[in-house]
Amino acid sequence: MRTSSLPAFSLRRPVTTLMVFFSFLLLGGVAASRIPLQLLPDGFNPPFMWIWIPYANSSPTEVEDKITRPVEESLRTLKNLGGIWSTSRSDAAVVRMRFDSNTDMGLAYAEARDRVERVKPTLPEDVREVYLQRANPNDEAVYILGVQFDGYVEDPYYLLKNGLGQKILRLPGIAKVDVGGADEKVIQVELDMDRVKAHQVNLYELTRRLRSDNFTLASGHVDEGNRRYLVRSVARYPTIESIAGLPVRGDGLKVSDIAKVTYGVPEITRHFRIDGKPSYVLEIFKESASNTVEVCRRIDEEVDRLSLQYPGVRLIKFDDDAKYITESLGLLLNNGVVGGLLAAFLLFYFLRRVRITLLITLAIPLALLITIVVMYFAGQSLNIISMMGLMLSVGMLVDNSVVVVENMTRVMTEEGRTAREAAVRGAGEVSLAILMSTLTTMVVFLPSVLLTQDGMMRFFMGQLAIPICISLAASLLVSLLFIPLWSSIVLKDAREPGALLKACDRVYERTLGWANRRYVDLLALTLHHRSAALTLLALVVVVTVAVPFQRVHMTEEDNGSGRNIWVGFNFPGAFTLEDSDAFMRKVEAKVESLRDKYDIKHYRIWASKTRGNIRVLLKDMSESDLEVPWVAEHLVKELPTQPGVTQFTNWSQSLSSGEADMRIYLLADDTGQLLDTSPEVVRRLKLIPDVVAVDTDLEEGNDEVRLQLDREALQQYDVSPEVLSSLVAYAVRGYPLPKYRYEGKDVEVRIQVQKSDRENLDQIRDLAVPTRGGGTVPLASVATFQVRRALQEISRFNGRTALGLKISTTLKDKKELEKRVMGVVNSMQLPQGMTVSTSNLLGRGGNAGQDFAAGLALSICFVFLLMGVLFESFMLPFVVITSIPLAFAGSWWLLYAMGSELNIMAVIGTILLAGVVVNNAIVLVDRVNQLRKEGSDREEALLEAARQRFRPILMTALTTILGLLPMAFGKAAFVGIPYSPMGLTFVGGLTAGTFLTLLVVPLFYQIFDGWRESLSVRFTRVARTWGPARWARARSAEEGP
């Protein structure tokens, strides 16, 4: 007889056991009130980083040549760099980097910052800022506040930054407050070219002089007696008027004679509105160690105070991480409570005794309380992932207790033991089985945590494993330490059931009691007709592979973004700012008309000359039943379209022509080569059957004017090429001067030709270029002008120009589409050096399908090894493993029936299912072995074990299934990514796995054990025939009597 020390200890030391119980209650209360609440756990560092370098009034070609390429070269030797994707636009250079998943992103950030500082001196002089940022969700704004003013505000940026923003920044836990939608005032020196020409001013020399006239310079120190004085040379402009009065040359000509000096908001280059009204935004960031919920609550209180303090200011709470946290945690908690209550009602139906039902149900809150205690003292937080793990484990927390109590009851009724003896013996008999069942669920996380290449997947699995493993270990402790003690008290005081309980007993006998007896008869029939049973099983496998396995596709799209829907637009190069704003106003009008239909709370737009976007915030989940993916799908279809305007969202790769089903990239060393070849590639791809459209990322920008310097003319007029190029840049793009100190803040100063003097090409041709001799010549005399169409942006991947092609099709099978596309591409004679890629160039890294398959295979291997330890057999683990593919069949069928995809949630559920579904088989096979050791033959042991374990197997499986029903069919989501695929995977897998396991596991036990006996007999015969005994008899015969 197996014994376990914990049940014996609890019965021998009941007071000590009770004190341990009260200790957990006390510590649990402290931990539950103090454990941090966050959206995501700490330590999530996605292996991505990006650099943004503003460079206004330029062209993509110039940005690529002067900024993008040097930055790429400096970053290319970073350790563990997986890829560099860069985009050169007319207003900025953007460089995105992906690192290997095992990279220390803190160290990578420091190294990248060092490379950027080294390359800065080689960039154009007017590059002022280089922004480097990691893709860390915990570094993003936790609160976004919209601001609208009732009347005119002279300097909105100053009011937002130093007024409202400063008050919020003083709150505990706030790291910084950024202002969006408002430009800081600048001092602009706008040159009048007619006056410049009239006074024959050298524009190049003027700009250089203004750059050097405003400075503060440390000039050493002077010793006088025993005192030392620091010397600073101060040449700053004392006032704005002093800039206008600055002499240009010795004849008294001043800056004000040739230019207008103004202090105000620069030229408008974008529009920002909330709910159709001009607005601004404050993005609020918290300190890394601060509690997100507490910080957001403080901000809420401060916003309410500011609303009273500034009656002319409307403050709009647009985004709030605390809202997502509390709503998501609350929804998960409600689902967990509902699942727990369903499990409790099911237990009562099986047990028909209130006290025993309450006793087993008590294992759920107690195990959860112990889990929170361990997590709190281990420095963990209560977040979306940990709550998801706790919810997954709710239905499993009673499994161990059910098996223990059920076996105790059996020992009392069938063996006539006392309650105390039954507690020790009953718990001891199943202790090893429930220990191994618990370990099999825990061990499935190891491969995904240790070996998965996908950093995001590994992080989620690791964080999910913490609460699940702790809670399951806690449930094991509860079942072996507390349940035997309490059961011995409850079972000892057996009372005569009342009329209601007797009625429940009769209902149970007519339903599950009858089902138990019929199950044993069906199992006997299955064992006697193995060929027919195996044929039916093979048919189930074949149909599963042919239908749901082929039609449930794996997706890597994780488009969650809370209750937000983001839609972006790219505008054609011919668009002006007024054109883009007019289009965005049409979008706003449409969204406003759909406000009630889609439960839209707020919406905000941003529009520039080349691109725009709208962010729609839906009402809270407590106010709306609409799901974000459904709203996104339908809302995007209703937005206005316009020729040349492309559309994309964070919920799909939608274009104006429809959804992109596949994306490929053309890569070449030469941009011109790529542009020449891409039309033919597009033409051939459109000929593929079932392909609806092929769109490219190629967008034409504005006409670009290229200055071709005439070397002979430059030499003839004695003009410096450097002076000429700098002069054109000063005049057209403008040039930043040293900042001016005004009212305690640094104000940007910029010199540029006034707008009316740079509106057409003739004005640029007449620009006076200074010669070395002191004269001037028109720009047209030393350079020719070439007008050509330019790209709106230039994309590069790992130093090669990249062009994306988006393919839309009516074909359902994506693998078949990829096969056809690659067949067309491989049949083409592409220019030398040009390649085609079908993978996401800057994805997470690794292959999701391969990671999933490898993690699942290793999880099954670990389960197999544990089974070998439990059964001390090489053959019996194969019997238990047969329950896993049966469960997967159920998962795929339910996902197929519900129209769900195999996303990251379903993948996690599938891997976890491999460790859960074998628990029923373990309990069944373990009892078969015990009965055979007691003298029963194989078939008798199988039928008796099936009869005894039918009820506990159904109880544990159905409690887990009912506990997960709210997740499977509810609307709980992880920042917009629904949990339902994970719940569906569990519910379908456990349902199919449980009912098929009851028949298939005994069948394979009979088959494998028969093989074992047959092999044993053959080995015995061989040993007798060819072993040492045969040779001894042979020698005896040779030696004779």
Burial of 754 (0-12, 13-18, 19+ CB in 10 A): middle
Q: Is 805 helix (H, G, I), strand (E, B) or coil?
A: strand
Q: Per residue, what are the HEC states of 996-1041? A: HHHHHHHHHHHHHHHHHHHHHHHHHHHHHHHCHHHHHHHHHHHHCC
pLDDT at 29 over 60: yes
Cβ atoms of residues 948 and 308 within 8 Å: no
Look at residue 392 and tell me whether its pLDDT is greater than 80.
no
Angle between helices 455-477 and 904-916 (to 10 degrees): 40
The span from the CA of 529 to the CA of 1007, in Å, is 12
* The dihedral sign for the CA sequence 560, 563, 567, 568: negative
Q: Is 31 left (phi over 0), alpha (psi -120 to 50) or beta?
A: alpha
Q: Is the pLDDT reported for residue 785 higher than 80?
A: no
Beta strands 646-649 and 564-570 are antiparallel
State CA 473 to chain mean position distance. 29
Which residue carries 């974000």 as its tokens? 628
Question: For residue 204, what pLDDT band results from cuts at 50, 70 and 90?
Answer: confident
Among the listed residues 633, 605, 634, the one whose alpha carbon sits nearest the alpha carbon of residue 617: 605
User: Could you please report the per-residue DSSP string of 850-892?
Assistant: HHHHHHHHHHHHHHHHHHHHHHT-SSHHHHHHTHHHHHHHHHH
Residue found under tokens 């007691």: 934
Confidence of residue 589 (pLDDT cuts 50, 70, 90): very high
pLDDT at 847 over 50: yes
Beta carbons within 8 Å of 505's beta carbon, 6+ residues apart: 352, 497
Please state, in angstroms and rounded to a whole number, the distance separating the CA atoms of residues 954 and 520.
Answer: 14
- Residue 657 has what pLDDT? 33
Percent of the chain residues past pLDDT 90, beyond the cut: 7
pLDDT of 264 = 80
3-state helix/strand/coil string of 166-193: HHHHCCCCEEEEEEECCCCCEEEEEECH
Contact 337, 354 (CB under 8 A): no
Question: Could you tell me the two tokens for 678?
Answer: 């891409």
Over 60: is that where the pLDDT of 719 sits?
Answer: yes
Nearest-angstrom CA–CA distance, 465 and 158 = 48
Asked if 384 and 325 count as a contact pair (C-beta separation under 8 A), the reply is: yes
Q: Which of 220-229, 746-755, 834-843 has the lowest mean pLDDT?
A: 220-229
**In this model, does residue 1030 exceed pLDDT 80?**
no
Structure-token pair, residue 429? 């008999």
- Confidence band for 91, pLDDT divided at 50, 70 and 90: confident
Contact (CB, 8 A) for 668 and 831? yes
Token digits of residue 815:
């693998």
Which of these ranges, 587-596, 648-657, 706-715, 774-783, has the smallest mean pLDDT? 648-657
Over residues 238-291, the pLDDT tens digits come to 777 777 888 887 778 888 888 888 888 777 778 889 888 888 889 898 887 777
Nearest to 802 by CA among 843, 832, 842: 842
**Per-residue pLDDT at 658:** 37
Task: Determine the Cα–Cα distance for residues 364 and 1000; give it in Å rounded to an integer.
Answer: 31
Question: What pLDDT is attached to residue 227?
Answer: 63
In the predicted model, what is the mean pLDDT of residues 128-149?
Answer: 82
Pairwise CA distance, residues 858 & 369, whole Å: 32
Q: Could you tell me which CATH class the domain 45-135 is placed in?
A: alpha beta
Average pLDDT over residues 754-764: 76
- Quickly count: other Cβ atoms within 10 Å of residue 451's Cβ: 12
pLDDT over threshold 50, residue 233: no
Q: pTM score, two decimals?
A: 0.70
Residue 367, token pair as written in the block: 């195990």
The region of weakest confidence among 370-374, 388-392, 847-851, 966-970 is 847-851
Alpha-carbon torsion, ordered 447, 386, 325, 42, to 10 deg: -60
Which of 60-74, 151-165, 443-457, 1014-1028 tops mean pLDDT?
Answer: 60-74
pLDDT of the residue at 973: 59
**What is residue 371's predicted lDDT score, i.e. its pLDDT?**
92
Which helix H or strand E contains 969, and what residues bound it? helix 938-969
> Average pLDDT for residues 680-708, to the nearest whole number?
75
Class of domain 520-551+846-1012: mainly alpha
Mean pLDDT in the chain? 80
With 0-12 / 13-18 / 19 or more C-beta atoms within 10 angstroms meaning exposed / middle / buried, residue 337 is middle
Q: Class of the 186-264+702-791 domain?
A: alpha beta
Q: Which is higher by pLDDT, 493 or 74?
A: 74
Rounded Cα distance between 69 and 73, Å, is: 6
Mean pLDDT of 207-232: 60
Confidence band, pLDDT 50/70/90 cuts, at residue 201 = confident
Residue 702 has pLDDT above 80, yes or no: no
**CA-closest candidate to residue 1010, choices 530, 537, 539, 532:** 530
Distances (CA, A) of 404 to 341, 439, 775, 923, 990: 21, 17, 102, 11, 21
Point out which residues pair with 54 in neighbouring strands: 92
Share of the chain above pLDDT 70, in %: 85
In this model, does residue 651 exceed pLDDT 50?
no
Mean pLDDT (whole number) for 574-595? 90
The answer to whether 769 touches 719, Cβ cutoff 8 Å, is yes
Provide CB contacts within 8 A for 791, sequence distance 6+. 60, 61, 671, 698, 699, 700, 701
More confident residue, 1035 or 188: 188
Contacts of 518 (CB under 8 A, 6+ apart): none
User: Which 3-state string (H, E, C) describes 108-155?
Assistant: HHHHHHHHHHHHHHHCCCCCCCCEEEECCHHHCCCEEEEEEECCCCCC
650 pLDDT band, cuts 50/70/90, is: low
Whether pLDDT at 1032 is above 70: no
Distance CA(250)–CA(261), nearest Å, equals: 21
CA dist., res. 132 & res. 129, Å (int): 10
Domain boundaries, the chain: 45-135, 186-264+702-791, 520-551+846-1012, 564-699+794-837
Instruction: Walk across the sheet containing 611-618 and list its strands.
Output: 277-278, 270-274, 600-608, 611-618, 564-570, 646-649
DSSP notation for 635-671: HHHHS---TT-EEEESS--EETTEE--EEEEEEES-H
H or E stretch at 273: strand 270-274
pLDDT value, residue 229:
53
Angle at 713 between CA 711 and CA 719, to 5 degrees: 85
Beta strand pairing call for 186-191 and 745-753: parallel
**Fold matches, 45-135 and 564-699+794-837:** yes
Rounded mean pLDDT, 367-379: 90
Tokens of 618: 């839906």
Digit-coded pLDDT (tens) for 486-533: 888 877 655 566 677 677 778 878 888 888 888 889 999 988 888 888
Residue of higher predicted confidence among 739 and 133: 133
Instruction: Report residue 450's pLDDT band, with 50, 70 and 90 as the boundaries.
Output: low
Among 128-132, 391-395, 746-750, the range scoring the smallest mean pLDDT is 391-395
Assign a CATH topology to domain 564-699+794-837: Alpha-Beta Plaits (3.30.70)
Give dist(CA 708, CA 787) in Å, integer.
11
